[in-house]
Chains A and B, each alone.
Chain A
């Protein structure tokens, strides 16, 4: 075993020496991915925006019911079935919630229970609703999550309207207008029109719910985008709590772009490293190594070592660059980051070795690896956050998505960057487990292919 590792290290060291000696190639190996991350990062940031309207998973919303009235319990029940939020605590976890607005703010500030939005239902909520006045709901939130805030507003609005059966709509409208700067007298005048406005809105909603093409002309008619309006009308006001450890500019999209481009570029980089095996075969040096008194499998293992070292360096460069340029708070949890990096490098390296062991020529390897990397990047979410559209994808696409190592690597990085999951989190552990399974399976297959191709003639 020592001889095996010694030979592998001697060969990996030789490759590293050659890698760093070729300064142009080395710079391209690092600069090209950095350039691509930059271009893709800014392009996708521009396309998706910091507060884009793309579909989102349900947003986790903690709730603190300080009122405990029938009305407040009704609001909580309505929130549980709202389409845009996932209410915390779960029904069976009742009792695990903040007990004041101040405590809610502390939760958000400290990231306790991964809370980034906490709705506080104040004492007197039930009495206000019963009296026909709009109660003051407050949401302690992390302002770095504008898109999620909007979904929370919509969810709260939906639940509030459902619970009050729309009775407080005109009052809510009036208060919103006042809040928007209208003087109280004018706002009160407008309240007289509220009932007709409500009917108009009801009509708009009904029209939007009609099947496309159902109008007289038979042409599809787009439903009006009411999400901004609905958020504006929300009975809740936000209390911003700046997270000490999260940059205010971080968005889910940015985390997506940085992680996605990094993983994709890593795959391209390691493919090039793995293909040095084919280069050795084509130049005849592989045969010369086979003549030496070493365990021949150590040659393959040396390429694993080489790719792992270079891959780790590339990841550090790319992630540091992402941190400097896009401020994604990459190094908030260095242990989880290191574990994710190691796991991704292991999976990508094994994948590269599998292609290099299978391919007979450099051209074959380049063609196949480029195709696979692009498909895996697209399916796995390195380009766009396809996981958010997962529900609308056909079953085959969902399965294909999960078969890519990109998907699992992205899940891990995104979980760490955005959801702030530590490596011990079950979702992160699942992603790590799949990545290592992928690494072991691809590694074993490349080992067998290597033996069959070179050591069984």
Chain B
């Protein structure tokens, strides 16, 4: 695990950590992601924006190894990357799923210890990881409480801490602030900025434009399974020929104003 982390840390800034090329996936013949390509540079927060049903979560599931029947290519540090088949590749990722995937009958600490052990941590390394994760989530005082007694915001923070527990090379966050109060949202933003300051790499999906504007170094906009724009916020504004436009303006211009029912 340590060797992996060192390998990740040795990736020079701005070099592509993850490269996705021509990625496609279909659910029972219904295309969800159609030949998308993008790369994520080491040390950046890469925003993945799109309306509901655009293909954001499917993309994350393909990268995280929860879906295996995709076509195209995914490379990590220039090498083959197959987390669906290889447990070792899964250890290189941290995933914060959209749903609150926590064991409510366990305490916050027990949740962290369980997943720490599943990721191969033990002894003092496990203790240090749990302490750090509790600090990251601001749950030190409530670590011994059952998760079912936590508020929604606390669960979201623990959800984030679980994803980053083993200090993965790439952290995938799938709409991590859905349904949280402003204080918890702010805490999560601060935690993510702290991770970026440490040189960590993050893929962040959201449909809240202000979040992307505040956090992300670069973004890609996905719509109906295709990437329809990518770059920094300023570059995107130029792409839609609206210099000075906010990311939300760009997003609406690219994806249209029609309501999404799925």
Q: Does the CB pair B118–A18 fall under 8 Å? A: no
**Bound CA–CA A21/B107 (angstroms):** 11
Interface 9-mer from B33-41, B89-97, B193-201, B237-245: B89-97
Q: Does the CB pair B90–A456 fall under 8 Å? A: no
**Bound CA–CA A380/B93 (angstroms):** 50
Docked complex: B123-178 residues within 8 A CB-CB of A: 146, 162
Say which residue of B88, B93, B101, B146 sits within 8 Å of A285 (CB atoms): B101
Q: Does the CB pair B90–A21 fall under 8 Å? A: no
Nearest Cβ on chain A to B176's Cβ, whole angstroms? 14
Q: Does the CB pair B95–A456 fall under 8 Å? A: no
Q: Does the CB pair B87–A295 fall under 8 Å? A: yes
Q: List 6 additional contacts besides A21-B105, A290-B66, A456-B68; criterion CB under 8 Å.
A: A14-B103, A17-B106, A284-B101, A288-B162, A291-B95, A293-B119
Q: Does the CB pair A14–B91 fall under 8 Å? A: no
Q: Is B235 an interface residue (CB 8 A)?
A: no
Closest to A290 in B: B66
Q: Is B228 an interface residue (CB 8 A)?
A: no
Nearest Cβ on chain B to A67's Cβ, whole angstroms? 74
The residues of B with any CB-CB pair to A shorter than 8 Å are: 64-69, 87-88, 90-91, 93, 95, 97, 99-103, 105-106, 110, 114-115, 117-120, 146, 162
Q: Does the CB pair A7–B118 fall under 8 Å? A: yes
- Chain B residues near A21 (CB, 8 Å)? 105-106, 146
Contact (A292, B90) CB under 8 Å given A285-B101, A287-B97: yes
Query: Most B CB atoms within 10 A — which of A14, A283, A288?
Result: A288
Say which residue of A10, A287, A288 sits within 8 Å of B117 (CB atoms): A10
Between A and B, 18 residue pairs with Cβ closer than 8 Å are: A10-B114, A10-B117, A14-B114, A22-B105, A284-B99, A284-B100, A284-B101, A287-B97, A287-B101, A288-B97, A290-B65, A290-B66, A291-B95, A292-B90, A292-B115, A292-B119, A293-B87, A293-B91
Residue interface mask A17-33, B partner, CB < 8 A = 1: 11001100000000000
The residues of A with any CB-CB pair to B shorter than 8 Å are: 7, 10, 14, 17-18, 21-22, 283-285, 287-295, 455-457
Closest to B172 in A: A291
**Bound CA–CA A17/B114 (angstroms):** 12
- Chain B residues near A17 (CB, 8 Å)? 105-106, 110
Closest to A10 in B: B117
Q: Does the CB pair A293–B118 fall under 8 Å? A: yes
Query: Most A CB atoms within 10 A — which of B87, B110, B162?
Result: B87
| Chain B contact residues: helix, strand, loop or mixed | loop
Closest to B114 in A: A14
**Bound CA–CA A456/B85 (angstroms):** 10
Nearest Cβ on chain B to A423's Cβ, whole angstroms? 38
Q: Does the CB pair A456–B69 fall under 8 Å? A: yes
- Chain B residues near A285 (CB, 8 Å)? 101-103
**Bound CA–CA A361/B88 (angstroms):** 31
Query: Most A CB atoms within 10 A — which of B88, B100, B118?
Result: B118
Query: Most B CB atoms within 10 A — which of A283, A291, A294, A457?
Result: A291
Nearest Cβ on chain A to B245's Cβ, whole angstroms? 36
Nearest Cβ on chain A to B196's Cβ, whole angstroms? 22
Nearest Cβ on chain A to B106's Cβ, whole angstroms? 6
Closest to A294 in B: B118
Q: Does the CB pair A291–B106 fall under 8 Å? A: no
Q: Does the CB pair B120–A293 fall under 8 Å? A: yes
**Bound CA–CA A292/B112 (angstroms):** 13
Contact (A293, B103) CB under 8 Å given A10-B117, A17-B110: no
- Chain B residues near A283 (CB, 8 Å)? 99, 101
Nearest Cβ on chain A to B99's Cβ, whole angstroms? 4
**Bound CA–CA A209/B112 (angstroms):** 78
- Chain B residues near A455 (CB, 8 Å)? 68
Closest to A455 in B: B68
**Bound CA–CA A292/B146 (angstroms):** 22
Closest to A19 in B: B105
Nearest Cβ on chain A to B184's Cβ, whole angstroms? 19
Nearest Cβ on chain A to B161's Cβ, whole angstroms? 13
Nearest Cβ on chain A to B155's Cβ, whole angstroms? 12
- Chain A residues near B93 (CB, 8 Å)? 291
Query: Most B CB atoms within 10 A — which of A17, A287, A292?
Result: A292
Nearest Cβ on chain A to B69's Cβ, whole angstroms? 6
**Bound CA–CA A294/B95 (angstroms):** 15
**Bound CA–CA A92/B87 (angstroms):** 65
- Chain A residues near B115 (CB, 8 Å)? 288, 292
**Bound CA–CA A290/B85 (angstroms):** 11
**Bound CA–CA A456/B67 (angstroms):** 8
- Chain A residues near B119 (CB, 8 Å)? 292-293
